Homo-oligomer: A and B are copies of this chain.
Amino acid sequence: MTFQMTIPELETYMAEIFPQVAQDFRIEAIKGDETVMRLLTSDRHLRPGGTVSGPSMFALADCVMYAAILARLGKVALAVTTNCSIDFMRKPVANTDLIGTARVLKMGRSLVVGDVLLCSEGDSRPVARASLTYSIPPAGNPQ
């Protein structure tokens, strides 16, 4: 599948639509089936002990999959998250960025399905795994 937006275009657009959080995330790569995003871990993402909180892991999973969809569909579509199932498997490494790798499994006309693996930078064992579904509003029917 061809891409409709480059990484700089995606980062600019996501900064417009998610001004509160866009500076927390950085797109590392978009290639083939995979989109890779980094959570620039800072104090507000942490729990006591220095590990990344559950809601911050959820946010990274949602954000990297959203970028993967935008890259493929362009700005025209306003995808809405309808489901996320996330398994927390290990404690993230303290005070370390998280890397989320998204894989699009189905790019349908009305539903997009994909999954995301989250790892602490420098450690290949996943800390969490999420599957997400997005609803795409009908074309020409802006919401």
Name A83's contact: one of B20, B86, B90 (CB within 8 Å): B86
Residues facing B in A45-102 (CB within 8 A) are: 46-48, 53-56, 58-59, 62, 80-90
Which chain B residues lie closer than 8 Å to A43 at the CB level? 20
Which chain B residues lie closer than 8 Å to A131 at the CB level? 85, 87, 115, 129, 131
A135 within 8 A of B: yes
A106 within 8 A of B: yes
Copies in the complex: 4
Name A54's contact: one of B53, B58, B108, B115 (CB within 8 Å): B58
Quick check: B111 and A135 within 8 Å, CB to CB? yes
Quick check: B55 and A133 within 8 Å, CB to CB? no
Q: How far is the CA of A46 from the CA of B19 in the complex (A)?
A: 10
A37 within 8 A of B: no
Which chain B residues lie closer than 8 Å to A62 at the CB level? 54-55
Task: List the B residue with the shortest CB-CB distance to A66.
Answer: B54
